[in-house]
Amino acid sequence: MLEIRDLRKSYGKLTALAGVDLDVARGETVVIMGPSGCGKSTLIRCVNRLTEPDQGSIILGGQDVLALSSPELQKFRRRVGFVFQQFNLIARLTVLENVMFHLVLGGMEREEAAERALASLDKVGLRAAADRRPRELSGGQQQRVGIARALVTNPEIMLWDEPTASLDPILVGEVLEVMEELVKETGTTMVIVTHEVSFALRVAHRIVFMDQGRVVEEGPPQEVFAEPRSEIAKLYRKLLVN
Amino acid sequence: MLDFFRDGFYKDLVLLLVISIILGAAFSQGVAWAIDTYFGDTLDQMIGEYGEYDLILHIREEAKEAALRELQRIGEQSFPGYKLNETLTIAGQANVFFGLPPQFRTREVLESITSYFGAVPGLNGYTLMAEPSVLIRGVHPGVREELREEIEELKGVSFTVKDGNNLVVLTEKEDDLPQVTAGIEGILAQYQILELRFPMGFEVDTQEVGNKALEILRAQESSASRYANVTSAQYGEDLDAFLKTLVEMRDFLGSYASKVRISPSPGISLSVGERIVLEAVGEMQEELIIEVTGVFGDLAEGMIIQGSPVQSMDRVVQQGYRLLGEGEQGDYIGEVEIENERYRLAYAVDESLRLLAELEELAVQASSAVDNAEAVLTTFQEALMQLEVLQVQMRQLNEGIAKGDAKSSGEQFLVTLLLNGLFQTLAQGVIHTGEESLDSLQNLDIEEMRSSLDGISTQIANVQEIDVAAIMEQIGFVRDTLPDLSDAEIGQSIRLINTYLGGQVIPGERVQLLIQGEAPNEKALEKIFQTELENPYLHTYSTSAGMVSPDARGEIFRILKEVRSIVAGMLAIIFTMIVLALDHAAIFSTLKQLRAGKKARTKRWMRILDPLLLFGGVLGSGLLTSIYYLAKGQIPFFSPVVVAALGFVLGVVLVVFAERFSPVDSMELMAGQSLGLSNVQIMREVVIPPSRPGLLNLLNRFKQQF
Ligand SMILES: Nc1ncnc2c1ncn2[C@@H]1O[C@H](COP(=O)(O)OP(=O)(O)OP(=O)(O)O)[C@@H](O)[C@H]1O
Ligand SMILES: [Mg+2]
């Protein structure tokens, strides 16, 4: 489904990705873990070209992502769901509008878009909040709106960039719950960047450890946590044990 | 970067630019026009429309009502169809506009304003403002008539009016003004006034020197066609008068100062400006310092510049020493004689005061003396008349006795004898000295003596009538007000006046020559005149025969137009800045944000010359240039290049500080991208709606879907 080869990206002198290879199979849930600044966000943003890599190739569903023209890229992005660490909701729009507006801009009738948006909000348990504005919601609720927004297009693949990292611990649970449900019910291909070790252990088919712009270790959760080879994996195992 | 605009946003941008430019130009020009109109209207209200009025009469405020009544009367009587308008009153002076009906707008009327309006109460003067006209200032009286004739020949000129030193040239139409002005300037260029100035103190016969100078000029090789002596007295009169007063003042002070005569000892030579010190003698407080003001052979003169001399009626002779630099006393130079004129004057005044006091008494005495003299005269005359009678009788007697008249009786003889005896006893003394004495007595002109006595008596009476006390008071006043200056002060004042008079060439006397044709080289001529007229101090100055000066109204309107262009230009700049900051900043913020995710720039020129900055600069430049010129902006020193450069700089500044002017939420932006929105959709739905309320924001409302 997703094939990343020798992906490189530098910001000036700073190398964020130093040649990353990653394969994700259809329906697979891959969790990416690694210390702050190791390039996880950069990697995941390269997949839908929110960040333009300098080198390498990304093939998604047989499509060469880096070769897409602007209009093609826009179409492509609609097939990819992206959930941000900071939720990235449009502040001036209501919850419903946040979930449906890109459908309408993509050419869908308003009624249909609204219907689908409401359905999507249902999935995250926020139908009732449809007419409220993001700032009136708690962080967890906002992130659930973010998830509903990513979900509404029925994406082929969902990319999660630390969806719970900016939530306070009490609110983390509700988001993880929604995520776990989604993984189990939809069977959509997922690439999740997260530090939630137990969540990863429960949900992930495979865990990928990154350090300094490289993949340092990968494998099924039980394996990598049972016999961690890299320093990073060992560190995460400690977290798990505690 | 171009990609960004390609999917449709370019349309929005172009629309924005077009509307910004149109609006900016309209706004800038509109405001400028409003200002212009406002001031223009105010001005019209103040000074009437072009050509509406011909005169401004300046009238003392308190006499305004009466003046207006009188003006109405004059208008009705002499200028039926006149216009009258009372405008501003400034500093106690009311300004009344008076418009003449066209048939009265003639040279004759305009040159005799005073004879028409002289009787208007409170009139302080007037200003001619007949229009359309060209004003020539400072027309030399020597060429005025000539100029007049030439100017009146010009096409479009209807007539000229002399107004003091100015010449007002009235044209037929306003449109004729530029061409007439050019014509007048051409004529004026043909005339030059060459002035020969002699320093103060040179008495010059302007006629004689003028003629000599003309000869000298004619001898020069020059293409000038005509020379004339046009020396005019009134020219620069005030300064002359002032300078003459200064000279008088100096002389007065000089005559009033103590006279100092220096007799240098043999072998000592003094020079002007040198200082001499005299030791203090008698009641003098301090030593005297004298400055040598003139050396005449073996005598020198000086004045006291420090200290006060002995107060004495007589000359005081003291020993003089050279004054060395540090106030030290140097060699003996000779005797110095000081005569204190002021002291003498004061003494004389005191004396006359004393005499006056005695005069009254004297008059009374004289008057009684005259009365006595008259009484004596009367007695004397009576006595004389008796004597005469006696004399006749005596003569008859004598004759009778001498002839021995036979016919005389004894009786008569006896009487004669008796009488004879009597007479002899009576007039012993007289008879004794003989008849001569009596004759000389008779020769006394008694009547003459009486009338002269009468004269004396009336004069004495007059003296008595004079109010001597008042005179004494007057003289006392004179004495008290005699300048209470010390010699040192007088000396300093004289020195001050001298430096002022001597420091520069002051037009003592001037000769003015008219040169028609090519202007001569004035400095070369100066040398020639200096040698030929044997006066190294004279200077030459060349001036024009008159200066065309812009008419006040035209000038005001020109300034207004300038102000309007400047205002329009400034507004164009401000508007551009606002448009850039409010609208374009959002676009550039977005572009900068999006660029962050892009690949590092590969082309070298791009790294040096940031295309974003370039784009901003070009945009700013285009925007400002268009608005500025459409708004008819015109700021001094703002050439098109400067305007374009300024726009460029504004654009570059905008790009650099775009986020400050209009921050873009990068989270929302990224969400928009991730949701597959096109650039134009991102702009319309994500970036612009929450951006600053500007034109872009406003225009976007029509396209925004959420
Ligand atoms: N737009 C950017 N400009 C410059 N440097 C950047 C940019 N984005 C990321 N970086 C740098 O690249 C490196 C990798 O960043 P990245 O965000 O991918 O790390 P991360 O693994 O997601 O870290 P975190 O856990 O903190 O989110 C970091 O050192 C970061 O500072
Ligand atoms: Mg990250």
Identify the closest residue of chain B to A158 by CA–CA distance. Answer: B674
Residue B45: phi and psi, rounded to 5, are -60, -40
- Please tell me whether the interface predicted TM-score (ipTM) of this complex is above 0.90: yes
Hey, what domains does chain A have and what are their CATH numbers?
2-79+157-241 (3.40.50.300), 89-154 (no CATH)
CB contact under 8 A, A101 and B597: no
- For residue B90 the two structure tokens come to 């400034």
State the pLDDT at residue B277.
Answer: 87
**Tens-place pLDDT, residues A171-230:** 999 999 999 999 988 889 999 999 999 899 999 999 999 999 999 999 999 999 889 999
CB contact under 8 A, A50 and B674: yes
CA dihedral A82→A84→A87→A90, nearest 10 degrees, is: -60
State the pLDDT at residue B425.
Answer: 47
Nearest to A50 among B599, B670, B678 (CB): B670
Ligand 1 centre and the CA of A168: distance in Å?
22
Picking from A143-157, B127-141, B366-380, B676-690, which range would have the lowest pLDDT averaged per residue?
A: B366-380
State the pLDDT at residue A17.
Answer: 95
Percent of residues, chain A, with pLDDT higher than 70: 100
Quick one: which atom of ligand 1 is closest to the CA of A213? Answer: 14
B667 and A CB contact within 8 Å: yes
| A33 has a pLDDT exceeding 90 | yes
- Pick from A98, A100, A101 the residue to mutate for testing the B interface (most B CBs within 10 Å): A101
CATH number belonging to domain B46-190 = 3.30.70.260
CA A1 to chain B, closest CA, distance in angstroms equals 19
Percent of residues, chain B, with pLDDT higher than 70: 74
Quick one: which atom of ligand 1 is closest to the CA of A39? Answer: 18
Nearest to B676 among A54, A74, A87 (CB): A74
**pTM for this prediction:** 0.57
Please report, for residues A27, B419, B545, B591, B594, the alpha-carbon distance to residue A48 in angstroms, rounded to integers and kept in the order given: 18, 185, 87, 19, 14
Reading phi first (left if > 0) and then psi (alpha if -120 to 50, else beta), residue B449 is in alpha
Spatial separation of the C-alpha atoms in residues B562 and B558, rounded to whole Å: 6
Sheet strands (E) in B226-377: 226-229, 259-264, 275-278, 288-296, 299-306, 316-323, 329-339
- Pick from A43, A76, A90 the residue to mutate for testing the B interface (most B CBs within 10 Å): A90
Best mutation site among A10, A13, A40 for ligand 1, i.e. most ligand atoms within 8 A of its Cβ?
A: A40
| B433 has a pLDDT exceeding 50 | no
Ligand 1 centre and the CA of A17: distance in Å?
10
- Which residue in B685, B695, B659 sits closest to B582, CA to CA? B695
Ranges of each domain in chain B = 2-38+554-700, 46-190, 346-470
CA dihedral A219→A221→A222→A223, nearest 10 degrees, is: 20
Quick one: which atom of ligand 1 is closest to the CA of A35? Answer: 25
Ligand 1 centre and the CA of B672: distance in Å?
20
Reading phi first (left if > 0) and then psi (alpha if -120 to 50, else beta), residue B97 is in beta
Identify the closest residue of chain B to A91 by CA–CA distance. Answer: B668
The better pLDDT of the pair B485, A96 is held by: A96
State the pLDDT at residue B170.
Answer: 86
CB contact under 8 A, A102 and B6: no
Best mutation site among A15, A32, A38 for ligand 1, i.e. most ligand atoms within 8 A of its Cβ?
A: A38
A–B interface: beta-carbon pairs under 8 A = 79
| B482 has a pLDDT exceeding 90 | no
CA A100 to chain B, closest CA, distance in angstroms equals 10
Reading phi first (left if > 0) and then psi (alpha if -120 to 50, else beta), residue B676 is in left
- Pick from A46, A66, A85, A105 the residue to mutate for testing the B interface (most B CBs within 10 Å): A105
pLDDT band with cut points at 50, 70 and 90 for residue A107: very high
pLDDT band with cut points at 50, 70 and 90 for residue B197: confident
B3 and A CB contact within 8 Å: yes
pLDDT band with cut points at 50, 70 and 90 for residue B522: confident
Q: Which residues of A touch B668 (CB under 8 A)?
A: 88-91
B677 and A CB contact within 8 Å: yes
State the pLDDT at residue B201.
Answer: 61
Q: Are strands B547-549 and B288-296 parallel, antiparallel or unpaired?
A: unpaired
Ligand 2 centre and the CA of A59: distance in Å?
22
pLDDT band with cut points at 50, 70 and 90 for residue B242: low
CB contact under 8 A, A91 and B665: yes
Identify the closest residue of chain B to A94 by CA–CA distance. Answer: B706
CB contact under 8 A, B686 and A90: yes
Spatial separation of the C-alpha atoms in residues B400 and B335, rounded to whole Å: 89
Spatial separation of the C-alpha atoms in residues A81 and B671, rounded to whole Å: 10
Please report, for residues B373, B376, B382, B461, B463, the alpha-carbon distance to residue B369 in angstroms, rounded to integers and kept in the order given: 6, 11, 20, 12, 15
pLDDT band with cut points at 50, 70 and 90 for residue B407: very low
Nearest to B674 among A10, A48, A71 (CB): A48
State the pLDDT at residue B167.
Answer: 85
The better pLDDT of the pair A19, B324 is held by: A19
State the pLDDT at residue B241.
Answer: 65
| B672 has a pLDDT exceeding 90 | yes
B1 and A CB contact within 8 Å: no
**Tens-place pLDDT, residues B363-393:** 666 667 667 766 666 766 666 666 666 566 6
| B504 has a pLDDT exceeding 50 | no
Q: Are strands B509-516 and B191-198 parallel, antiparallel or unpaired?
A: antiparallel
State the pLDDT at residue B399.
Answer: 60
Ligand 2 centre and the CA of A137: distance in Å?
23
Decide: A52 in ligand 1 pocket, CB within 6 A: no
CA A227 to chain B, closest CA, distance in angstroms equals 37
State the pLDDT at residue B499.
Answer: 65
Quick one: which atom of ligand 1 is closest to the CA of A193? Answer: 22
Decide: A139 in ligand 1 pocket, CB within 6 A: no
Per the listing, tokens 């009738």 go with: A109
Residue B532, CA atoms < 13 Å, CB-side half-sphere: 19
CA B11 to chain A, closest CA, distance in angstroms equals 17
Spatial separation of the C-alpha atoms in residues B27 and B264, rounded to whole Å: 88
Ligand 1 centre and the CA of A223: distance in Å?
28
Q: Which residues of A touch B675 (CB under 8 A)?
A: 77-78, 82, 102, 149
Q: What's the whole-number mean pLDDT along residues B430-440?
A: 49
Is B97 in a helix, a strand, or coil? strand
Identify the closest residue of chain B to A78 by CA–CA distance. Answer: B676
pLDDT band with cut points at 50, 70 and 90 for residue B149: confident
CB contact under 8 A, B597 and A89: no
Decide: B596 in ligand 1 pocket, CB within 6 A: yes
Decide: A36 in ligand 1 pocket, CB within 6 A: yes
The residues facing B214 across adjacent strands are: none
State the pLDDT at residue B475.
Answer: 67
Percent of residues, chain B, with pLDDT higher than 90: 16
The better pLDDT of the pair B597, B302 is held by: B302
Q: What angle do CA B142, B144, B149 make, to 5 degrees?
A: 130
Ligand 2 centre and the CA of A31: distance in Å?
13
Quick one: which atom of ligand 1 is closest to the CA of B596? Answer: 1
Q: Which residues of B touch A78 (CB under 8 A)?
A: 675-676
Per the listing, tokens 């941008």 go with: B13
Spatial separation of the C-alpha atoms in residues B339 and B321, rounded to whole Å: 19
- For residue B349 the two structure tokens come to 């005044």
Ligand sitting nearest the alpha carbon of A40: 1
**Tens-place pLDDT, residues B101-112:** 888 888 888 888
pLDDT band with cut points at 50, 70 and 90 for residue B471: low
> Which of B147-151, B171-175, B677-681 has the largest mean confidence?
B677-681
Query: Cα B286 from chain centroid?
Result: 44
- Pick from B666, B667, B674, B685 the residue to mutate for testing the A interface (most A CBs within 10 Å): B674
Decide: A9 in ligand 1 pocket, CB within 6 A: no
Q: What's the whole-number mean pLDDT along residues B220-237?
A: 66
State the pLDDT at residue B540.
Answer: 80
